């Protein structure tokens, strides 16, 4: 089924490792390339530098079967591969909203002169529209037999393996039927499993990723804007989200109001999309995404204000427990983490903050060494005057008012992900606050429901 195609995967971040291991599990011979020799050694030894359920097992299976290995040599990659996947990162540029394309550019610059026969180079990284067309020209100049295609990746952290092996859709931006045929071969198994194939231009393929992330971020910020209105008007955003989500035209996904989105993709991709639109003279079309970003960041400030309020209007020296450092549960990623941002804001307001997370403590320590961390939930909550639930790990959603009540010094809790039962916590004597739920909305709803 693989027709003997040999694949290389350039870049061993989240995307690259997942793609390499998944392609090997589909039966391809895969060579992963990264300039970081330490990472290459680690991967060849079957150890993941990231936390992703199921991925380490898949990597080990590939290594054991001799289907995947990693190298630092672009020359080896050029000699090995029929199809070369570019999976390098495109972080936000320091000091600007634009994407930093240096890794993608240097990867193509390193590979292109070494290619000497027909092959397909496939971009998977998230790039500003127009990048693929430029790279295609550079590539064909360096090696006339080499062709470029763009094939964006929509995987989510925490379900990266399933998203790669059984995606909803596979988007291929191509400039020839030959490139399409090769990509049909590469993705034969997921296509046979029901994934939709959309064949399009290079530009539309690049835009597909930016637009999908922009839509998801807009949905989250929409419900968080409704949360702000609920707070002002005395509503309950959880009920509102349920009502909206029951309309099949809207759908319930990505309507969880709370502290908003973070991570290595949505925040920087939205900003880069706006920056690129402005460059193209189409800034007005995406101006609303600036508000999407602003709503998202306002939730962080609002959460800190709630803590300030619960601490009686002064956080100086107040012991505060922050539950969560990862940008979402099921991940150890702290890039643009709303939880860590709130911890930082509270520290700036004078609070004595202690952070606990079941998986992301090491990364959090590296990213924000100035914050204090505890190895267990109980250690973090010991003597706290205010507890903030900022990432909805199961360990936190399973908390009971009684168990936590025995550890803290004062019963104040902020449920910034709307995952706890307000009635239960209030009945146990806790001052409970949530985002998008007016203080007395839950009690009022219960009274309204009463036949008396
Ligand atoms: C996202 C996209 O989903 C994926 O398709 C793309 O390839 C990369 O970016 P990921 O960053 O892994 O994936 O996280 P995702 O599960 O989308 O969540 C993003 C953020 O939104 C998280 O911080 C999460 O907590 C938040 N979120 C999500 C909400 O606040 N409310 C929701 O209803 C859903």
Report pLDDT digits (tens) over 200-236.
999 999 999 999 999 999 999 999 999 999 999 999 9
Residue nearest to ligand 1 atom 17, measured at CA: 156
**Residue 451 predicted with pLDDT over 70:** no
Give residue 257's pLDDT band: very low, low, confident or very high (50, 70, 90): very high
Give residue 438's pLDDT band: very low, low, confident or very high (50, 70, 90): confident
DSSP-assigned letter for residue 410: S
Two tokens, residue 271 = 């900003």
DSSP-assigned letter for residue 338: H
Report pLDDT digits (tens) over 266-316.
999 999 999 999 999 999 999 999 999 999 999 999 999 999 999 999 999
Q: Strands, E, within 246-351: which ranges?
A: 319-323
End-to-end CA distance of the chain, in Å?
A: 68
Q: How far apart are CA 355 and CA 362, in angstroms?
A: 12
Mean pLDDT of 172-189: 98
Q: Quick one: CA dihedral 414, 416, 422, 425, positive or negative?
A: negative
Pocket probe mutation, ligand 1, options 266, 360, 392, max atoms within 8 Å of Cβ = 266
Residue nearest to ligand 1 atom 34, measured at CA: 254
Q: How far apart are CA 316 and CA 155, in angstroms?
A: 42
- DSSP-derived secondary structure for 27-78: T-EEEEE-S-HHHHHHHHTT--SS--TTHHHHHHHHHHTT-EEEES-HHHHH
Q: Are 53 and 42 in contact (CB under 8 A)?
A: no
Q: How far apart are CA 195 and CA 193, in angstroms?
A: 6
What does each C-alpha distance from 61 to 38, 154, 162, 432 come to in angstroms? Answer: 21, 24, 16, 47
Ligand 1 centre from 121 Cα, in Å? 28
Give residue 443's pLDDT band: very low, low, confident or very high (50, 70, 90): low
pTM of the model: 0.95
pLDDT at res. 440: 66
């Amino acid at each position: 089924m693989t027709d003997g195609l040999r694949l290389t995967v350039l870049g061993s971040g989240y995307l690259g490792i997942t793609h390499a291991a998944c392609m090997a599990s589909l039966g391809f011979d895969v060579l992963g390339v990264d300039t970081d020799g330490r990472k290459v050694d680690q991967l060849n030894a079957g150890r993941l530098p990231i936390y992703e359920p199921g991925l380490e097992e898949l990597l080990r299976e590939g290594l054991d079967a001799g289907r995947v290995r990693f190298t630092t040599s672009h020359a080896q990659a050029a000699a090995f591969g029929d199809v070369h996947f570019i999976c390098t990162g495109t972080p936000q540029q320091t000091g600007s909203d634009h994407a930093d394309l240096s890794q993608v550019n240097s990867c193509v610059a390193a590979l292109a002169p070494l290619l000497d026969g027909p092959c397909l180079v496939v971009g998977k990284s998230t790039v500003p529209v127009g990048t693929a067309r430029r790279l295609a020209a550079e590539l064909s100049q360096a090696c006339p037999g080499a062709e470029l295609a763009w094939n964006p990746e929509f995987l989510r952290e925490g379900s990266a393996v399933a998203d790669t092996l059984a995606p909803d859709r596979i988007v291929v931006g191509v400039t020839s039927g030959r490139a399409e045929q090769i990509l049909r071969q590469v993705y034969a198994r997921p296509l046979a499993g029901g994934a939709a194939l959309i064949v399009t231009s290079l530009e539309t393929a690049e835009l597909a990723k930016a637009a999908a992330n922009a839509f998801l971020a807009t949905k989250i910020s929409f419900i968080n804007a409704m949360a702000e209105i609920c707070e002002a008007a005395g509503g309950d955003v959880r009920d509102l989200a349920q009502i909206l989500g029951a309309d099949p035209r809207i759908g319930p996904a990505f309507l969880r109001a709370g502290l908003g989105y973070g991570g290595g993709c949505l925040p920087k991709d939205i900003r880069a999309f706006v920056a690129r639109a402005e460059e193209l003279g189409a800034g007005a079309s995406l101006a609303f995404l600036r508000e999407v970003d602003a709503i998202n960041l306002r939730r962080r400030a609002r959460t800190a204000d709630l803590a300030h309020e619960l601490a009686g209007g002064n956080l100086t020296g107040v012991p505060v427990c922050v539950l969560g450092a990862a940008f979402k549960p099921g991940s150890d990623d702290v890039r643009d983490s709303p939880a860590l941002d709130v911890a930082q804001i509270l520290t700036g307001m004078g609070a004595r903050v202690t952070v606990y997370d079941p998986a992301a403590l090491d990364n959090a320590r590296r990213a924000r060494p100035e914050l204090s961390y505890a190895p267990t939930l109980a250690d973090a909550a010991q003597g706290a005057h205010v507890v903030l639930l900022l990432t909805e790990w199961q360990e936190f959603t399973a908390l009971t008012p009684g168990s936590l009540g025995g550890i803290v010094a004062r019963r104040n809790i902020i449920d910034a992900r709307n995952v706890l039962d307000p009635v239960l916590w209030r009945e146990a004597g806790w001052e409970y606050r949530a985002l998008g739920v007016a203080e007395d909305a839950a009690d009022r709803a219960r009274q309204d429901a009463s036949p008396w």
